[in-house]
Amino acid sequence: MPTYSFKVNGKAVKVTAPAGMALLWVLRDKLGITGPKYGCGMNVCKACTCLVNGSAVTTCSTTVSSVQGAEVTTIEGLANGDTLHPVQQAWLDLDVAQCGFCQAGQIMAAVDLLSRTRTPTDADIDAIENVCRCATYGRIRAAIRAAAEKMP
């Protein structure tokens, strides 16, 4: 089996895995990083969303071979020590989460959106397809707007 080297949350990692293995399972089952969740495995629910080189990807639909040499950021790597990312902080301030299962993916999708624009429109937010079965959508929308104003 081939070996792949990349960075996860700033740390260099090396994993031996089949080339076609989904990054989600490499993170969860080989590296023990459990923030990204399995919700469907079909790029539909988006619960596994992480950043690869700063852009959101669904890790259930991304092969480990494709992240060779890349920088992967999971929810665990978003805060700077005890200082939360503005999106995480907005999530706390507005008490966004319910069960929390989809929230890592929601937060990563929001971080991705705010990295592309500081003035997201309703249509931009509507384009986030991450499923929240508890339906925290209203607060997610409000938290994205609140975080947009606090992005560095």
Partner 1 sequence: MNDPRGLPTDAMDESGGPGFSIGRRKLLTYAVSAPVMTIAAGFGVNLAIPSSAVAAPMPLMPADSVDYYDVGDSLVQVGAPTMPLVKLSVGTDGKVTLEMPRLEQGQGIATALGMMIAEEMDVPLSDVIVHSADAQPELRYNQITGGSSSIRCFDPVLPVMAAAARARLVAYAAQQWGLAPSSLRVEAGVVIAPDGRSATYGSLTVGAATLPLPSVQPKDPSQYKVIGHFTGRLDARDIVTGRKKFTMDLAVPNAKPTMLRMPSQIRGQVIGVNNLSTVKAMPGVIAVVVVPPGGSIVARQVGVAVMAETFGQAWDACRALDITWGDGTNQGQSNATIFAALKAANPPLAAPPLGALMVDGEFEFPPATACPLEVECAIVDARADRAEIWAGMQTPIVALQATAADLGLPEDSVQAHVIPSGGAFGRRLFWDPVQVAAYVSKATGRVCKLMYHRSDDIRHTRLRPPQVHNVRATLLGGSVVGYEQHIAAIRLDARHGYGEKGSAQTGALPEGTPQTLANLGYEQFFFKTMVASPYNYGFSTKVLTPVTFDWNTVSYRSVHIQPARLVEEIITDEIATAMGIDPVAFRLEYLRLPRARAVLQRVAGAAQWGKAMPAGFAQGVGVHQESRAFTACIVELDARDPKQAKVVRATIAIDLGKPINPSGIEQQCHGGLAEAISLVLNAGLTIKDGLPQEGSYGQYHWARMIDFPKSVEVIIMPNVGDPVAGMGEPGMSAPSGAIANAYARATGIKPRKFPLNAQAPFEATPPGQLPAPPL
Q: Which residues bind partner 1 (CB under 8 A)?
A: 1, 18, 20-22, 24-26, 28-30, 32, 34-35, 37-45, 47, 60-63, 74-76, 78-79, 84, 88, 91-92, 95, 97-104, 107, 122, 125-141
CA distance linking residue 91 with residue 104, whole number of Å: 11
Least distance between partner 1 and beta carbon 42 (Å)? 5
150 half-sphere exposure, CB direction, 13 A CA radius: 15
In DSSP terms, which residues pair with 8 in a beta bridge?
11, 72
Least distance between partner 1 and beta carbon 61 (Å)? 5
User: CB burial class (10 A; 0-12, 13-18, 19+) of residue 89?
Assistant: middle
Least distance between partner 1 and beta carbon 152 (Å)? 18
Least distance between partner 1 and beta carbon 115 (Å)? 18
Full DSSP string of 80-122: BTTBPPHHHHHHHHTT--SS-TTHHHHHHHHHHHHHH-SS--H
Q: Which is nearer to partner 1, 56 or 78 (CB)?
A: 78
